Each structure stands twice: as C-alpha cells, then as structure tokens.
Homo-oligomer: A and B are copies of this chain.
Amino acid sequence: MRANSSSSEQDRSFTERGRRAQIVEAAIEAIVELGYSRASFGQIAKRAGLSSTGMISYHFRNKAELMQQVVTDVYAAAEELVGARIDAAGTARDQLRAFIESSVDFYRTNHRQLRAITEIFLNERGDDAALPHRRELEGMRELLRAGQRSGEFRDFDPHVMAVTLRHALDGVALRLGVEPDADADRYARELETTFDLATRAG
C-alpha cells in the first residue's frame, strides 16, 4: 500500500505532507548540485536522509509526480510573495517595478528553487509541467497591456516584452546561484531601471 494513492493535498496527513516536502527539498538540492539528468532517486534519497529509494516511490506515484510537485511548490511560494506586492502597487508602472523587485527578493533566498524548476521545464516535455509557466506569462502580458491602455506604457509587443522580462529574471536567478557574492539589490535596481526605460511612454 502506498501513501500517494490519495490525490488531493488536503487528504494527506501532517507527517505525510512533511515527508513529501522533505523529499521535494532534497530533489531541488540534487538537481542544483548535479543537474536534472543526474538527479536520480538514489541521489535524492541520500540528500533526504532516506535509507532507500523505495521511500520516494512510496510518497510519489513516479518521478514525474515528484518533479511536478517541485514546480507546484516553488510557484506557490513565489506567487504568494510576488502577488501580494503587485496587488499593493497602484499604477501599472509601479506594478511592473513591484513585480521585478519582489521577484528578485524571492530569488535572493530561493535561487536554487528557480534553478531547479528551470531544469525541470526543459526536461519534462509534458504540457502539465509547462502549465504554470504559461499561466505566469499570461499574467505578465495582461499587466503590460493594462499599462498600455492606461497610457503609461509605450506601444511595444506585450508578448515579446513578457518573454524578455521572464528570461531576464531567470537569468538573475541563475546568476545568483553562480556568483556567490552577487548583490541581489543591484540586480533588482538595474532591472527596474532597464524595464522602466524600455516600457514607459514617450
């Protein structure tokens, strides 16, 4: 019998959720240290302090479900922080600034998580994995279009700008992992200025 037979998050017990979270964290560690293709159940189990890979299969139906959970968890944490900051901002220009600033804030302590889901996106080809990513791009396009309608932003292509911003931010997260002494604030400030100049009207 396995614990992963229940499908909904609420159905899971306290300890069960704890174990899953612990395994998700270990998966992130393994991906960041070794790369997706070498992040085997064996490596993940070792980092989770589990004595056998069977324990991972006990908590997750298969490897795809574990990877999906990594993506879900990281997105949930990011949206909680970033969403609140955007909602607190007034104009579209301030919202864009808040989005960049809070994203970099998130990466400051979570660049490993970002690195992990970047690798998962590239390797897990199913549409399920890419869904939150597409939803996020959609949200960014909407924010940019709203600013264009209100006259705050110039007449750029919202899709191209959203893609550009998304990947620029990914780049920051990647850099924060590679450069140990990187100053996150510096990245935030520069990106805010850059995209403010690139988007603002006349």
Residues of A within 8 A of B (CB): 1-2, 34-38, 41-42, 45-46, 51-53, 118-119, 122-125, 156-157, 160-161, 163-164, 166-168, 170-172, 174-175, 186-187, 190-191, 193-195, 197-198
Contact = CB atoms under 8 A, between A and B. Distances in A.
Contacts of A166: 171
Contact of A193 (B1, B45, B122, B156): B156
Nearest to A163: B171
Contact of A170 (B45, B167, B190, B193): B167
Given A37-B37, A38-B123, 12 more contacts: A1-B52, A2-B42, A34-B125, A119-B122, A157-B190, A160-B190, A161-B190, A163-B175, A164-B168, A166-B171, A167-B170, A170-B171
